[in-house]
């Protein structure tokens, strides 16, 4: 069973721990405004979706990310910049493929 739980962690505005039954990994929004995750995270998109939802709910004015999530960040409302991607709470989205 998968779970994503909000936890306090120094250096982060907010941080989630993802548990898949046998392992734990995590990620969050750093105090510098960057979305990051553990390299070994088995469900990066799930964690990214939780973080984007939290950014929207917290009205985060500027959020950055690097291309380490294994998904097209532009689909989630990010815009490519020189060193990565940038967005804000009002441009972020949680796309779906339902038809």
pLDDT of 97: 74
| Residue of 31, 27, 26, 25 lying closest to 13 (CA atoms) | 31
pLDDT of 43: 92
pTM score: 0.92
Q: Which two tokens stand for residue 72?
A: 């097209």
- At 12, the pLDDT band (50, 70, 90 cuts) reads very high
Residue 91 pLDDT exceeds 80 = yes
| Cα 91 to Cα 30, 47, 64, 67, 81, distances in angstroms | 19, 18, 12, 18, 15
53-65 pLDDT, tens digit each: 999 999 999 999 9
């Amino acid at each position: 069973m998968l779970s994503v739980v909000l936890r306090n962690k120094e250096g982060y505005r907010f941080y989630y721990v993802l548990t898949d039954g046998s392992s734990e990994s995590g990620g969050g929004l750093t105090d510098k405004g960057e979305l990051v995750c553990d390299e070994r995270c088995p469900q990066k998109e799930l964690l990214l979706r939780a973080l984007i939802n939290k950014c929207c709910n917290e009205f985060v004015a500027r959020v950055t990310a690097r291309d380490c999530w294994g998904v097209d960040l532009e689909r989630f409302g990010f815009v490519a910049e020189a060193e990565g991607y940038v967005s804000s709470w009002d441009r972020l989205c949680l796309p779906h493929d339902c038809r």
